[in-house]
A and B are shown apart, each in its own frame.
Chain A
Amino acid sequence: MNPIVVGSLESSDCLITLTPHPSRKIAIESIVYDAYHDAIHAVIMSLLDDYNLQRVHVLCQDKGALEYTIKARLKTAILRFKEVHHES
């Protein structure tokens, strides 16, 4: 199954890749890892909770995206993922 990919690797953006996975798993690669890792992790967790999505692997490749961008990219990815996998 093809993964869901949203966003870009341009500066101030991030690329979110969602793949089906037995349990929720989050991987973060970021140019601001040390300064914002916790914040990025928290925003991803909270949005997955909002959409009640458990069985997914999230890869966030971050080029210094502000929080609103990470949220938006992930939201698009989640909605597309749910459409493809009829996941609830």
Chain B
Amino acid sequence: MSRSFLFIPGDVPRMIQQLEIFGADAIILDLEDSVSMTQKDEARHLVESFLRKHHYQNPLIYIRVNPIDSEEYTYDISTLQNLRIHGIVLPKASLKGIEKVAKDLPQCKIIALMETPEAFLEIAAIAKHKRVEGLLLGAEDLAQALNLERTEKSDEILYVRSQVVLTAKAFKKIAIDTPYTNLTSNEGLLEDAQKARQLGFDAKASIHPNHIDTIHQAFSPTKENIKRAKRIVAYAETHHTMRFSLDGKMVDKPIIEHAKAILDAAKRYRLD
């Protein structure tokens, strides 16, 4: 499972061609907000040309297309037909939009960008859709629609954050937190990412490559957690038991499963 989703503007070659070195678990090549209306075709062709030439297992590659009701969406979809990508990020997600993308691109996983009040009225239906892989909170657009002032502490988005986590988890989908938009404060980023982690998010989106290490710091299993997970799994395997006590704490099947997940993550993120 990815910890970080890094947005890269679809029209900047010197960024696109470095995407593998930013350290992000997933990259979102953006055809939407970071590309001006007059350069939509340039970005589309650039992303297409790049992905025809270069293939990556790691990071996972996603593309943010334009909203389904825009003219650009149609061009985006026809360009993406034959590209090897992991998934689509759909802006201004709605159930109708998810169903349209599912039909237009029969292979692709979809991440729903939750950034309109309407989307939250059908959040369960969106999360339930079998092609939806995760929910990504888009707090900036949402705040505008709700006439909220965004603050450093982000108390104003606590409710929607929790709703995204709760709904995503109910359908075993990935919960991805909104990007931290202050590019100068690393302490603020770490605090924000740790808060998201505490709320139950699996990952955080980002709009700057230099944010990735800090996001990983917040979303990776700690050394202590890895150590304990190793002991739990080892005990369960050597004693062939799914129910035992370790350091005075009860361990049962869900805890063993969780420990295994931590070890898988540690292995994937090379923390072991």
Contact = CB atoms under 8 A, between A and B. Distances in A.
Real binding pair: yes
Main secondary structure of the interface of B (DSSP, over half): helix
A6 interface: yes
A80 B45 CA distance: 12
Interface of B: 13-14, 17, 41-42, 45-46, 48-50, 52-54
Contacts of A75: 45, 49
Contacts of A71: 49
Main secondary structure of the interface of A (DSSP, over half): helix
Nearest to B48: A72
Interface string A7-42: 100111100000000000000000000000000000
Interface of A: 6-7, 10-13, 65-69, 71-73, 75-76, 79-80
A65 B49 contact: no
Contacts of B50: 68-69, 72
10 contacts: A12-B13, A13-B14, A65-B13, A68-B46, A68-B53, A69-B46, A69-B49, A72-B45, A73-B46, A75-B45
A62 to B, nearest CB: 11
Nearest to A74: B45
A6 to B, nearest CB: 6
A77 to B, nearest CB: 9
A6 B54 CA distance: 23
A11 B45 contact: no
A7 B14 contact: no
Contacts of B14: 10-13
Contacts of A13: 13-14
A46 B232 CA distance: 60
A14 to B, nearest CB: 9
Nearest to B14: A12
Contacts of A12: 13-14, 17
Nearest to B17: A66
A73 B16 CA distance: 14
B13 A66 contact: yes
B8 to A, nearest CB: 14
B41 A76 contact: yes
Contacts of A72: 42, 45-46, 48-50
A6 B42 contact: yes
A49 B17 CA distance: 26
A79 B53 CA distance: 21
